[in-house]
Amino acid sequence: MLGLAKKTADEFEAKFGYAPTGVWSAPGRVNIIGEHTDYNEGFVLPIAINRATYAAIALREDDTARVASTFSDAVVELNIAQLGEASGWAAYPLGVAHVLGASKGFDLFIDSDVPVGAGLSSSAAIECAVALGLDELLGLGNDRRALARIGQRAENEVVGAPTGIMDQSASLLGKVDHAVFLDCQSLEVENVALGFAAAALEVVIIDTRVAHRLNDGGYAARRAACEAAAKAFEVPSLRHLSLETLEAGRELVDDVTYRRARHIITENDRVLSFVAALKLGDFKRCGELMVQSHVSMRDDFEISVDELDTAVETSMRHGAVGARMTGGGFGGASIALCPIEKISDLTNSVYAEFELLGYARPDIFTVNAADGATRQI
Ligand code: ADP
Ligand code: MG
């Protein structure tokens, strides 16, 4: 959207007193299926969405880095030698600059229409917009896969959130009307045609507004359980463990660890089945797999919350072909694959059910699969 790109350039100029050299955008993402599989070297199937973060950037002649955002009035200013010590929201953009090894100062302004903390990865959007822009201005020549790794490292090492490679891959490698089928072991990517528009289907997001915190412990605990299971079965990651081996060796781990591993193994299978079903245009099967995925996250991986369960169940009762919570869990959003003519009934029913149960009013909107990060101006 050029409107927001232009606005970001104007905001840069108002803040810093001169025009930026360029504006880069990177989309948020929603994961269609394959949750918590990324750090287990498994499969994921996100789409880049038609909501993005914009980074207006100019290099400076000195070694000062300044960053500002519509988030706050304050300008964060650091010497480029201290980029790795950035904290708060500035850790995302400055962490990227740190990992890129920025050798020059820069001014940076961020604006965005990706909802924050909704499971749509506003974090990857900001990282990838900054990574693409700074890489180009500094002439570093990283390709998109390398930039995805750089965004991930910024989030892991500077922000301190132990997230996988999925979000940045979707934001950088997304394609309009296609999903990003990513093998997190080989990092091979295939853009798989969705065919949703031709089937009169749309992806509905229900943001429960229950805040999720990836650096709060639940996410790290799930990672630790997966690592413990892999260790107990003497495999490098759960990617290498079959359901049969897990069942046969059930006594090697406690019940919780067993169920965590079972989610990862069955979820990997569901991603592969979903891709196969997409290629056949079998949306009924796609929907079944989404619901199975939700049940597995609710019961085996235990990362759902009541609001997400309600959103999924209500979606299924009101016309969705499939529905599941999406993102890291403990809040955030659910998605529904829904026939276009049933979206208003689904939406109204979810609002009504949430009100009945005394939950905060969710934010409900549709998204389309969009292209990955790009230079706008
Ligand atoms: P999610 O990625 O699901 O939206 P995260 O907690 O991973 O949630 O990342 C959200 C954080 O990313 C915000 O709290 C903020 O620190 C940073 N962030 C995202 N968008 C912006 C923005 N437009 N300006 C400044 N910081 C942002
Ligand atoms: Mg995030």
Q: Are 267 and 37 in contact (CB under 8 A)?
A: yes
Give the Cα separation of 9 and 74 in Å (integer). Answer: 18
User: Annotated active-site positions, please?
Assistant: 167
Q: Are 41 and 239 in contact (CB under 8 A)?
A: yes
Question: What percentage of the chain carries pLDDT values higher than 90?
Answer: 92
Q: Is the pLDDT of residue 213 over 90?
A: no
- The chain-wide mean pLDDT, for the chain, equals 96
pTM of the model: 0.94
pLDDT at 111: 98
For residue 122, the CA-to-ligand 2 centroid distance in Å is 6
Q: In the chain, where does the domain assigned CATH 3.30.230.10 lie?
A: 2-187
pLDDT at 217: 80
What is the residue whose two structure tokens read 């939700």? 294
Of residues 83, 82, 88, the one with CA closest to residue 69: 88
What fold is seen in the domain 2-187? Ribosomal Protein S5; domain 2 (3.30.230)
Q: In the chain, where does the domain assigned CATH 3.30.70.890 lie?
A: 192-367
For residue 116, the CA-to-ligand 1 centroid distance in Å is 5
Model confidence pLDDT, tens digit, residues 97-118: 999 999 999 999 999 999 887 7
User: Hey, which of 4, 75, 89 would you mutate to test ligand 1's pocket, going by the most ligand atoms within 8 Å of its Cβ?
Assistant: 89
Beta-bridge partners for 59: 106
- For residue 65, count other CB atoms closer than 10 A to its CB: 27
For residue 92, the CA-to-ligand 1 centroid distance in Å is 8
| Ligand 1 atom closest to residue 89's alpha carbon, by position in its atom list | 16
Q: Is the pLDDT of residue 2 over 90?
A: no
Helices (H), the chain: 2-16, 91-100, 122-138, 144-153, 166-173, 218-232, 243-248, 255-280, 283-299, 306-317, 343-356
Q: For the domain covering 192-367, report its CATH number.
A: 3.30.70.890
Token pair recorded at residue 247:
């069942």
| Ligand 1 atom closest to residue 167's alpha carbon, by position in its atom list | 2
User: Hey, which of 116, 127, 303, 308 would you mutate to test ligand 1's pocket, going by the most ligand atoms within 8 Å of its Cβ?
Assistant: 116
Q: What are residue 119's phi and psi, to 5 degrees?
A: 85, 10
Token pair recorded at residue 229:
């299971």
Average pLDDT over residues 311-315: 98
| Ligand 1 atom closest to residue 120's alpha carbon, by position in its atom list | 3
For 175, which DSSP code? Answer: B
Give the Cα separation of 147 and 132 in Å (integer). Answer: 7
Report CA Rg, the chain: 21
